[in-house]
Amino acid sequence: QVQLVQSGAEVKKPGASVKVSCKASGYTFTANFIHWVRQAPGQGLEWMGWINPNTGDTNYEQRFQGRVTMTRDPSITTAYMDLSSLRSDDAAAYYCARGGGFALLYAFDIWGQGTLVTVSS
Amino acid sequence: EIVLTQSPGTLSLSPGERATLSCRASQSVSSNYLAWYQQKPGQAPRLLIYGASSRATGIPDRFSGSGSGTDFTLTISRLEPEDFAVYYCQQYGNSRGTFGQGTKVEIK
């Protein structure tokens, strides 16, 4: 079945970087954008940006510009989100989600299970 | 940047009642690129509605979406026990996807 499976929980120190992976299966990886969304404890959803797995093109939310890097490896149908210079307020669950494309008017139809990132000294 | 404002923040209802959730955009949402998601504790969000009014695959018909431009509504016609959750609206315009702050539907 169509699914996105993310890497496991991470504990990082302030100032460090974290890299979260998102492995796609059950569909053509290069056919749909992958978005990244995060959710701080008890808070709402925050969109971070997308990557086009076909071309590698990216588009980041302005507030993450300079700290986030989204990449992909089509040979293993995996997308990555790298966030640097971590602060305490970066502690959150990070989700990857598949963009549904024009057929779904760009809604996010498949979500990974989430990766919890803890930032603590 | 389009800002989405959801109301109310919390809706306290009983099973079997009707739930009406609102999502208002600060600017018109392009081509009805408006979606609704349900999220339960400890789970990832689930797509309910796309294009403002189309149900996603496998979503029961008690869920319906309506609206256009800047005002959108998610209606749950008769609440089932599994419907008590947080609901988010989201718009996708100019290649950016922003979410509302969420409405929690809780058991009264």
Q: Which residues of A touch B99 (CB under 8 A)?
A: 37, 44-47
Q: Which residues of A77-114 are buried (b: 16+ CB within 10 A; e: fewer)?
A: bbbbbebeebeeebbbbbbbbbbbeeebbbbbbbbbeb
Residue of A nearest to B104 (CA): A44
How much is the average pLDDT of A60-80? 97
Tell me the pLDDT tens digit for each residue of A74-115.
Answer: 999 999 999 999 999 999 999 999 999 888 888 999 999 999
Contacts of A97 in chain B (CB under 8 A): 45
What token pair was written down for A6? 């993310």
Residue A40 above 90 pLDDT? yes
- CB-based contacts of B41, cutoff 8 Å, min separation 6: none
Q: Do B99 and A45 touch (CB under 8 A)?
A: yes
Count of residues in chain A: 121
Q: For residue B86, what pLDDT is reported?
A: 98
B98 contacts A47? CB cut-off 8 A: yes
